[in-house]
Amino acid sequence: MTDREVARARLLLGRLIDLEETTFGYFMDIAPDERADRVSLRLADLFTARPDLDRVMLRLGGRDVGVSTPVRVRQAAGLAGAEPELGMADRSSLPGMSQQYRLVRYSCTHTGCTLADVRSFFDPRTVPTCPVSAHGPMELRR
């Protein structure tokens, strides 16, 4: 795993990583081409299954990418500002909330590129761009 691949993963997974966190109690291995939205779902599953975990190091080919926290994962899922003690399930079961927090997915249009981004809202002014600079803006996935 090269420095460049680790740096790319760090960029792609930036919303899930808290760079100020250096301690952790668990590792989660990710694949080089794993999409950020999938990593986010796996982390959400892990933090739900293991409420005792509050910091997980994401690892790519044995290299440390960064420490993820339940707060980061909730924010990435569009629940920024939610009070943890209210519980995600309580909130998401409120009528009308599912549309508001529906994730908006983008993918790179460059042939052969599998990079993707996920947003918690749609804003045509801030379309994500592929971290590979020559690839340009991503396309909304339907």
d(CA 3, CA 128): 23
Give the count of residues interacting with Zn ion (CB under 5 A).
Answer: 7
Residues 6+ apart with CB under 8 A from 71: 18, 84
| Alpha-carbon Rg for the chain in angstroms | 16
Using the 8-state DSSP alphabet, how is residue 124 labeled? Answer: G
**Binding characters for Zn ion, 89-118, by CB under 5 A (x = yes):** -------------------x-x--x-x---
Q: How far is the CB of 93 from Zn ion (least distance, A)?
A: 37
Q: Is 127 in the site for Zn ion (CB under 5 A)?
A: no
Return the number of the residue (39 or 79) whose C-beta is nearest Zn ion.
39
Ramachandran region, residue 18 (left: φ > 0; alpha: ψ -120 to 50; beta: rest): beta
Q: What is the footprint of Zn ion within residues 13-32 (CB under 5 A)?
A: none
Q: Is 63 in the site for Zn ion (CB under 5 A)?
A: no
Q: What are phi and psi of 64, to 5 degrees?
A: -75, 130
Return the number of the residue (59 or 135) whose C-beta is nearest Zn ion.
135
Q: Which residues bind Zn ion (CB under 5 A)?
A: 108, 110, 113, 115, 130, 132, 135
